[in-house]
Amino acid sequence: MDRRIFLKNVGIAGAAAGLSGLVPGIVNAKNYGARNDLLIKRQGKVVYHSCLRNCADRCLLKFYVQNGRMTYVEGAAEQPKTGSCPCVKGLTYVQYTYSPDRILHPMERVGVKGSGQWRRISWDEAYSKIATRFKKIIAEDGANAILPYSYSGNYGAIGMYAASERFWNKVNARELDRYVCAYSGTYGVFSALGTSDGPDPEDSIYSDLYISHGWNEAATNVHVLKYINKARDNNCKVIVINPIRTPLASQADLHIQLKPGTDVHFIAAAMKCMVDNNLHDMDFINRHTVDFDAVVEQLKTVSIEKSLQICQVSEEDLLKFIELYSTAKLAHWRLGYGIVRNYTGGRIARAACLLHAVGGHYAKIGNGLTYDNMQAWGGGNHDKIRAKHLRTDHDVEHTNITELAKALDPVNPTSYGKPSQLVKAMLFYNGNPAAMAPEAQKVLEYMQRDDLFVVGFDFNMHDSMDMCDIILPSSTQFETSDIIGSYGFYDVQVCEQVIEPLGESKPNLTFFSGLAKAMGYTDPEFDATSDELIRQFLETDSPFFEGITYDRLMKDKFVKVVDQRPYFGSAKYNTTSGKLEFKSQYMVDKGFHPVLDLGLVEDWMGEKERKLPFRMVSPALIQRMNCEFYNVKYIRNFPAYTVTIHPEDAKEQGIADNDQVRVYNHRGEVFLTAVLSSQVSRGVVLTVKNNLRRFNPNGSKTCTNIITTDRLADLGGCSAYHSTNVAIEKA
Ligand code: SF4
């Protein structure tokens, strides 16, 4: 049977309908001969549903529904953050939902793994086959041999966690540590501030300096740009610290284009410059910090010249930075997830917190450091909705998501450097391991193991689905209800069900509850409805959620969490001392310097990799979200198989613009199209993260993550994708 199952009378019309979302403002064009068939799509029932991509904006969207069909999407203008327009990705949600590639029935593999031969089966058959296999594995090898794999394809409190974790807890399956993002920075920031919560990005309007550090607002926080622009109208200056010239960097007052992973050296040079020239804020330091003496002592050993050489920043840029930074009254530091995906990531995050304290930039609105705001997400009652009490075996292994290849290794499986039990079954959902995990070639090969039972639950075919024994059709987020808190802004928001599930697809909660019943589990937790779980999520003691009730949320569609802002500045830090800590015992325990650790990415590389000429960074593309949106033709047309290289480096390698090139290291190779640009410095190449193999136009089914590192970062077990060295040659 063809893998592409089309929904009769839906897919075809849907592909056209989706385009309507790409024409903002068409309603005002009525008098200019606009097409009535597009205009009419903005009529019908309006449903509010938040975007559940892994994006700091968390837009609240308004869907128009007619005769049970989603016809148009726009931003909910009622919410200032979103305004009337989502990003280029959000605008395609009608196409995304009715994509002709939707999987709409369960299927079973009939050929060898990867051959693409399937037969349609019923849900009852699928449940029975999975339950039978799981029970056999549990009886013979224990539940530790079953690995759930998922990440952020659905970021709803239910879709991401509650639906599946109550099932895995009951099974006592192996635990997956989903530390792709943020964790090294979280631990680094905690070591100084005692929290990773920071100011609302909307407060940027009060700042006279905005520092974007390792963050591409245009890709995953595009709605913050209007707040930055508003501040700039009031003469706010903008500094961007990033190895890549991002769209914001191209308009900034200063772009510090440093070598990836060397940020602590730049920060150390800046700190020394400030302290030596008496530009630090002693009043703030005396009132709110401890152990400043240790900073002074360490700075005696720092050479500005040497530090600038290491991070490849000019003295002129350092002095401009100092001028802007030390004259700012209200400086908002936005620390991004780009820098933390490095072997030095946690240490960089910590260093940024410390410099901001030396500048005295925490105590007022408009000041502060925003990293991973968890008030609106972490404040919900996660323990309850995930039914943690159902787990009876707490001694199962943990597999780090970045180390998937090591976990699936048939000969020498390991976990966190220790021997591990062989994985006998993997069920993946909300993720695409064969494109997303580092060492992606090994992951793909190991997924082909005959003794590994693989089940994929998703709504599109992708690289991992090809390796399945059983494929199950999931619904999109719009075909059920959920609740979500932002990890950037301060809002808790609704996700109302927009349409009924297409074909035989099931929302995550329905699927896992059904599988639980097929396993013979009779716990009432598997009868819970989305509505009950949303209510449970809001039953929390978190002070951030005070006054946020189910009725209020359903009426208003979004509610801001209670502002705890004084906590970040004028009051008390959540550290042992109650103050910002320049010296950290935690860092010492981890083997690092207690103040600023000046270790380098290269220190953690093998000799072979260290000698390769280019550092490769692979951040998000504006038009993609990880492996998602490849099902939308409009989005697929934006190139995702490029490698950007500095023109001088390209010349030395004999590479011209648009050449097909081979980018490689000891892990493997990926074939890409060369783009020559000074968007990157010399010695750095820029690729795209999580591009799918199947759409690579360069003649081979290769993707970026074949060559990215699976070694973990310095803190928190975080991934370190950007600490990858490569060579490049004309293909
Ligand atoms: S991907 Fe981000 S910016 Fe785009 S619609 Fe979703 S939340 Fe908004």
pLDDT for 90-100, tens place per residue? 999 999 999 98
pLDDT of residue 334: 96
Other Cβ atoms less than 10 A from the Cβ of 44: the count is 17
Average pLDDT of span 498-521 = 98
* pLDDT given at position 469: 98
| Higher-confidence position of 412 and 17 | 412
Q: Is the pLDDT of residue 348 over 50?
A: yes
- What value does the mean pLDDT take over residues 187-208? 92
In angstroms, what is the span from residue 494 Cα to ligand 1's centroid? 15
Residue nearest to atom 8 of ligand 1 (CA): 59
pLDDT, residue 3, reads 33
Ligand 1 centroid from CA 57, angstroms: 6
The best mutation among 89, 97, 217, 628 to test binding of ligand 1, ranked by most ligand atoms within 8 Å of the C-beta, falls on 89
pLDDT value at residue 564 = 65
Residue 345 predicted with pLDDT over 60 = yes
CA of 623 to the centre of ligand 1 (A): 10
In the chain, what's the furthest Cα-to-Cα distance? 74
- Is 51 in contact with 90 (CB distance < 8 Å)? yes
Residue 533, CA atoms < 13 Å, CB-side half-sphere: 33
The two three-digit tokens of residue 526, written as one number: 């598997």
What is the CA(42)–ligand 1 centre distance, in A?
Answer: 20
Task: Give the C-alpha separation, 212 to 319, whole Å.
Answer: 18
pLDDT at 25 over 70: no
Q: What values do phi and psi take at 231, rounded to 5?
A: -65, -40
Other C-beta atoms closer than 10 Å to the C-beta of 37 total: 10
Contacts of 78 (CB under 8 A, 6+ apart): 60, 557, 558
Ligand 1 atom at minimum distance from 222 CA: 3
Average pLDDT over residues 463-484: 97
Residue 51 CA: nearest ligand 1 atom is 6
β-sheet bridge partners, residue 671 = 662
CB atoms under 10 Å from CB of 410, counted, come to 13
With a pLDDT cut of 70, the percent of the chain lying above it is: 93
- pLDDT (0 to 100) of residue 10: 31
Model pLDDT, residue 314: 98
Instruction: Give one DSSP letter per residue of 285-304, joined into a string.
Output: HHHHEE-HHHHHHHHTT--H
The answer to whether residue 14 scores a pLDDT higher than 70 is no
For residue 612, what pLDDT is reported?
A: 98
217 CA distance to ligand 1 centroid (A)?
A: 11
pLDDT for res 15? 34
* Strand intervals (E) in 507-659: 558-560, 580-581, 614-617, 642-645
User: What would the mean pLDDT of 262-273 be, rounded to a whole number?
Assistant: 98
pLDDT of 503 > 60? The answer is yes
User: Binning pLDDT at 50, 70 and 90, where does residue 573 land?
Assistant: confident
Cβ < 6 A, ligand 1 pocket: 51, 53, 55, 57-59, 86-87, 89-90, 222, 625
Query: What does the pLDDT read at residue 1?
Result: 35
What does the block give as tokens for 520?
A: 């013979």
Instruction: Decide: 259 and 242 in contact? Cβ < 8 Å.
Output: no
Instruction: Inform me whether the pLDDT recorded for 34 exceeds 60.
Output: no
Q: What's the mean pLDDT in 602-615?
A: 97
Per-position DSSP letters for 622-650, written without gaps between them: TT-BTTBTTT-HHHHTS--SEEEE-HHHH
Helix or strand (DSSP H, E) at 457: strand 453-458
Is the pLDDT confidence value at 217 over 90? yes
Long-range CB contacts for residues 445-453, cutoff 8 Å, separation at least 24 = 446/405, 446/408, 446/409, 446/410, 447/113, 447/408, 448/113, 448/114, 449/408, 449/410, 450/113, 451/410, 451/424, 452/408, 452/423, 452/424, 452/425, 452/426, 453/133, 453/137, 453/424, 453/425, 453/426
Q: Give the containing element (helix H, strand E) for 167.
A: helix 163-171
Mean pLDDT across the chain, nearest whole number? 92
- 3-state DSSP call for residue 473? strand
Over the Cα atoms of the chain, what is R_g? 25
Residue 19 has pLDDT above 80, yes or no: no
Is pLDDT at 569 greater than 60 in this prediction?
Answer: no
pLDDT of residue 282 exceeding 60: yes
Give the position, in ligand 1's atom list, of the atom nearest the Cα of 57: 7
Atom of ligand 1 nearest to the CA of 61: 5
pLDDT bracket for residue 576 (50, 70, 90): confident
Residues in the chain, overall count: 731
Residue 227 has pLDDT above 60, yes or no: yes
What was the pLDDT predicted at 168?
A: 98
Flag whether pLDDT at 568 surpasses 70: no
The two tokens of residue 319 are 């002095």
On the question of pLDDT at 29 being above 60, the answer is no
Mean pLDDT of 643-647: 98
Measuring from atom 4 of ligand 1, which residue has the nearest CA? 87
For atom 3 of ligand 1, which residue has the closest CA?
87
Question: Is the confidence at residue 30, as pLDDT, over 60?
Answer: no
CA 77 – ligand 1 centroid, Å? 14
pLDDT in the model for residue 39: 66
- Per residue in 58-91, pLDDT (tens digit) is 999 999 999 999 999 999 999 999 999 999 999 9
Residue 712 to residue 720: CA distance in whole angstroms = 6
Ligand 1 atom closest to the CA of 625, numbered from 1: 1
Decide: 222 and 87 in contact? Cβ < 8 Å: yes
Tell me the pLDDT band of 27, cut-offs 50, 70 and 90. very low
Residue 8 in this model has a pLDDT that exceeds 90: no
**pLDDT score at 572:** 66
**What is the residue-wise DSSP string for 26-62?**
GGGGGGGT--HHHHGGG-SEEEEEE--SS-TT--EEE
Distance 55 CA to ligand 1 centre (A): 6
The model's confidence at residue 40, banded by pLDDT at 50, 70 and 90, is confident
pLDDT tens figures, 388-423: 999 999 999 999 999 999 999 999 999 999 999 999
- Tell me the mean pLDDT in the region 502-512: 97
* Contact yes or no for 328/209 (Cβ under 8 A): yes
Between the CA of 338 and the centroid of ligand 1 the distance, in Å, is 18
Decide: 61 and 75 in contact? Cβ < 8 Å: yes
Q: Model confidence over 297-318: pLDDT tens digits?
A: 999 999 999 999 999 999 999 9
